[in-house]
Amino acid sequence: MHAKRVQIIVSGVMFETFLSTLEKFPDTLLGSPLKRQSYFVQEQNQYVFQRHRNSFDAILFYYQSDGKLLCPSDVPLKLFKEEVEFFELDKNVVEDMLKKNGFISEQETVLPSNAIQRELWQLFEFPHSSNAAQLVAIFSTAMVVIAAVSSIVQSVPSVKHKRQQYKRQIHDPWFVWDLIMNTWFALELAIRLVCSPNKSVFFKSFLNFVDLAAILPFFFEITVGNLKTTSLTILKVTRIVRIVRVFKVSRYSKSLRIIGFCFRSSLSEIGLLLLCLALMAIALSSMMFYVELGEKSSSFTSVPAALWFAFQTVTTLGYGDLVPITALGKFIAGLSAVYGAVTLSLPVLSIVSNFNKIYYNNMNMKIKRDS
């Protein structure tokens, strides 16, 4: 017995497949006999759709490949998303496809059942949900910026000297200001934790770990910073960790998240670039050591000592603190600088292409939602 075939006409182009292939996904438009029946033309014994024909190739492949959804390179992501939604493909598969193509979706709107928690959750988690939420987002962003500026100013020697004159921390205006800002950050995190409708999802969020890392060092310093047994290294580490608070801004800026996703999408190109530069740096440092060997005033006393010069050269940084003395050494260093410049330029086009694709996909989706 031969398997039953069906013919599908999409904007004048005929596609043919087995009925059993479509019925693997009974919840979709083509897989459900009831849903697809309204598009059946009895006279032609065909299903007729006035839809985007290039997109349908990928949609039909979804059925034939047991659920693999790939956006065609010549079809805009916004248009393809409309087509797969029309044919009612699996939402989870569509979401994965969007993520792979760089679309940063908004958080799923799951709200707490408690009325007060629901209002607070929307206020602190969804900046565009109301005017009050936008004001909270602006205020929180301003606090992050001020905290970053405060940390920079406090590193100035005159400010550090003046702070040392205060006998108690509570008399230090810089400490009081840091206490106010970190209290706000802690309060914000605590409210979002208490009001979160899904605690497991909350703890899996990278941005929530950034929020936690931004406030813990300050309160750690208050607790153990004045103890004589506290290691100076520990205090340095805690103050370095406080720098991550600047990444809190990405919670309210989709553009920053797009840049982060672009780098993540370009990891293979960046990894290849780092590998090429590392191999060249190792080769150059070894050559410079042996070429300069025997020169009394040479700075290349060993291969590890020459490695810093090699990294400067192949990355075209060129501090000038280490320089070759011999003519051969200068010639090799010049060739290495040219190699480094060419190598650095190779992945740029790919990274820029990834960024343009991700940025415009997200902007097109945003325009659609706003319209």
Domain residue extents for the chain: 5-100, 115-252, 267-345
- Inform me whether the pLDDT recorded for 367 exceeds 50: no
Decide if 368 contacts 344 (C-beta within 8 A).
Answer: no
pTM score, whole prediction: 0.58
pLDDT-based confidence at residue 105 (cuts at 50, 70, 90): low
pLDDT at 63: 92
Q: Which of 185, 161, 338 is nearest to 247 (CA)?
A: 185
DSSP calls for 153-211: HTTSHHHHHHHHT-SSGGG-HHHHHHHHHHHHHHHHHHHHHHH-S-HHHHHH-HHHHHH
pLDDT tens track for 287-310: 888 888 878 788 888 888 888 888
pLDDT at 191: 92
- Inform me whether the pLDDT recorded for 21 exceeds 80: yes
Q: Which of 359, 347, 323, 311 is nearest to 104 (CA)?
A: 359
Residue 158: which residues within 8 A CB-CB, separation 6 or more?
Answer: none
pLDDT at 363: 67
Range picked from 74-78, 177-181, 245-249 for highest mean pLDDT: 177-181
Q: Which of 201, 200, 234, 191 is nearest to 216 (CA)?
A: 234
What is the CATH architecture of 267-345? Orthogonal Bundle (1.10)
Homologous superfamily (CATH) of 5-100 is: Potassium Channel Kv1.1; Chain A (3.30.710.10)
pLDDT at 238: 63
Range picked from 122-131, 134-143, 146-155, 360-369 for highest mean pLDDT: 134-143
Alpha helices in 196-302, H assignment, sequence order? 199-204, 206-224, 232-241, 254-265, 267-291
Tell me, yes or no, if the two domains 5-100 and 267-345 fold the same way. Answer: no
Q: Does domain 115-252 have CATH number 1.20.120.350?
A: yes
pLDDT at 371: 45
Q: What average pLDDT does range 193-207 have in this prediction? A: 84
For the chain, the maximum distance between any two Cα atoms, rounded to a whole number of angstroms, is: 95
